[in-house]
Amino acid sequence: MIGKLLGLAPTPTEDGAFSPSRFALKMATSPTTDYDGAVYPAPYTGTKKVLMVCTEERNLTMANGKKFSTGNHPVEMLVTMLHLKAAGFEVEVFTPTGRSVKIEQWAMPNEDKAVMALFAEFKTRFAAPKSLADFVGGDMEQSEAYAAVFIPGGQGALAGLPESEVLKRLLLWACSEDLFILSICHGPAALLAASQGQTAGDFVFSGYAMAAFPDSVDRQAPMIGYLPGHMPYRFGERLKALGVTLVNKKADATCHVDRRLITGASPEAANAFGKLAARELLDSLASG
């Protein structure tokens, strides 16, 4: 009752899950972003695209059995896409089976004109994305269509993606083809898919350093009603156990490049992350 009065209680949804409390939304979301309208003087004019893998699951089950109404975080996804598009790259939208992309609508920056225009442009593609299973089971091995794989964040990145066999196959193929892999906030949790059936020494990202949303901040989230319970597991701890070094301790604007892996720490990093990813892709394709 006290939590409800103070606005700290998670908000029930129609399907029996919970979205963040009023207080959490005031603390953690904004109606605008810091997208700076970056201009790339020499945008890419080739044919290679960015393959974006999104979650198709709406709810993530917490450790206490309650469900969190989640999806991909719109700022992390759309601000990055704005930079990629400005740099000349087409983004193709995929989910594991082709079901619709789930987005944390409660985090949508509704007063950000650039973000909302891009969201409107991609609305039909989010509703009917391509199937990653079809791509992986089809012409993936022969495909030369892509320069990068992008996995946006939001706690929804933990809903099905870390256990996905098709995502595992995509990640291993992307690494073997020397594609860039871009991931921000909770997105790096999806990289755990590549660890299925492997030991730490065999994990394709063992020895890498990356930025990611800190487990310590997720542990605090139930206190303000952002989450209806603790996360089902600490994905940062799992990555570290597999030989990954995490470079940030705060949910801040940290971005990091390690070989072809580009990562960001939180929604605060979205603008810098998108700019970094675009420039790294442009530099690589210009030189190669």
Single-letter code of the amino acid located at 271: N
Which stretches of 62-112 are DSSP H helices? 74-86
pLDDT value of residue 197: 83
Domain boundaries, the chain: 2-31+48-287
φ, ψ for residue 248 (rounded to 5)? Answer: -120, 150
Q: Which residues are catalytic?
A: 185
What dotted CATH number matches 2-31+48-287? 3.40.50.880
pLDDT value of residue 124: 98
pLDDT value of residue 4: 54
Residue 166 has a CB neighbour count (10 Å cut-off) of 21
Which stretches of 39-163 are DSSP H helices? 74-86, 113-127, 132-137
Tens-place pLDDT, residues 231-268 = 999 999 999 999 999 999 999 999 999 999 999 999 99
Is residue 171 within 8 Å of 188, Cβ to Cβ? no
- Model pTM score: 0.95
pLDDT value of residue 288: 60
φ, ψ for residue 154 (rounded to 5)? Answer: 95, 145
Residue 262 has a CB neighbour count (10 Å cut-off) of 25
Place of tokens 């949910």: 251
* Alpha-carbon span 97 to 74, nearest angstrom: 21
How far apart are the two ends of the chain, measured CA to CA in Å? Answer: 61
Tens-place pLDDT, residues 17-46 = 999 999 999 999 999 999 998 899 999 999
pLDDT value of residue 38: 85
Average of per-residue pLDDT values in the chain = 95
pLDDT value of residue 2: 45
pLDDT value of residue 141: 92
Is residue 266 within 8 Å of 251, Cβ to Cβ? yes
pLDDT value of residue 16: 97
Below-50 pLDDT ranges, the chain: 1-3, 5
* Alpha-carbon span 23 to 226, nearest angstrom: 8
